[in-house]
A and B are shown apart, each in its own frame.
Chain A
Amino acid sequence: ETAVFQTPNYHVTQVGNEVSFNCKQTLGHDTMYWYKQDSKKLLKIMFSYNNKQLIVNETVPRRFSPQSSDKAHLNLRIKSVEPEDSAVYLCASSYRLGGSYEQYFGPGTRLTVL
C-alpha cells in the first residue's frame, strides 16, 4: 500500500535546466528524507527533515535544494542539472519503532539528463 507519493515518475531534461520533484506522505510521520540511488543501486542520503526543519544536509552540490511547506510534504529542486544528476530520487518518511526508525519509501522519480 503506497503512502508516500512522488511526482513525476520520470523526467527527461537537458543539461542546465531546472527541475522540481514533489513528495507527499499520508502516514503522519514527523521525518522525511531525500535519497539518490545511482545506476549501481547505491542509496545515498541527501537531506533529512524533521517537522519542516532541516536536520541533515549531507554533502550535496549547492544546486540541490529541499523545500518543505509542512511535515507531510518535502520537495526537491535542482537548479541547473548536470549529467551526473541522472539517477532515481527516492523520498521516504519515518516513525519511531521501538529503538529505531522504520522508513517508508515512495516509488521514486527517475531523472535522465541528456
Chain B
Amino acid sequence: QEKVQQSPESLIVPEGAMVSLNCSFSDSASQSIWWYQQHPGKGPKALISIFSNGNKKEGRLTVYLNRASLHVSLHIKDSQPSDSAVYLCAVSSNTGYQNFYFGKGTSLTVIP
C-alpha cells in the first residue's frame, strides 16, 4: 500500500508570505499526485494535480514533482488568510484503479 508523508505538520505565516508544503511517497509507479484543501467541517477540495516530472503553475499555486526522489511540493505565492486550511497530498495507486492514498496533511494558518 502506498505510503504518503507530509511535512511540516503545521505552519503559521504572515499574510503575503510564500508557503511551501512537502509530500513524499513510496511508489515511483504512482500515476498522479493531487493536492487538496480542506477547511474545518468541510470535505476536501481539489486544488491542483501533476503527473509528469517538472512543475505546473495555476494562479498562485505551483507544484513540483520529482519522481526519482519520490517527492512533490506545493508552493502558494502571496498567501491570504482565506488560504488557512489543511492541505492534503493524495497519490494515486498503481493498480489501474482510481484509488488515492492521502497523507496526514499540513495545517496552514495565515495571519493577517
Closest to B107 in A: A41
**Interchain CB contact under 8 A, B99 and A45:** yes
**B51 and A98 contacting across the interface, CB-CB below 8 Å:** yes
In the complex, what residues of A have CB within 8 A of residue B38's CB?
41
**Chain B residues near A41 (CB-CB < 8 A):** 38, 86, 88, 104-105
Contact of A43 among B41, B44, B49, B98 (CB under 8 A): B44
Nearest to A106 among chain B residues (CB) is B43
Instruction: List the interface of chain A (C-beta within 8 A of B).
Output: 4, 31, 33, 35, 40-45, 48, 50, 55-56, 90, 92, 94, 97-108
Q: In terms of DSSP, what is the predominant structure of the interface of chain A?
A: strand
| Interface check B25, CB cutoff 8 A | no
CA distance A98 to B38 in the complex (A): 23
Q: How large is the interface on B (under 10, 10 to 19, 20 to 34, 35 or more residues)?
A: 20 to 34
| Chain B residue contacts of A48, Cβ below 8 A | 97-99
Q: Is the CB of B104 within 8 A of A99?
A: no
What is the minimal beta-carbon distance from B10 to any residue of chain A, in angstroms? 11
Residue in B42, B46, B49, B105 whose Cβ sees the most chain A Cβ within 10 Å: B46
Contacts of A101 in B (CB 8 A): 32, 92, 98
Residues in B with CB closer than 8 Å to A103 are 34, 36, 44, 46, 90, 100
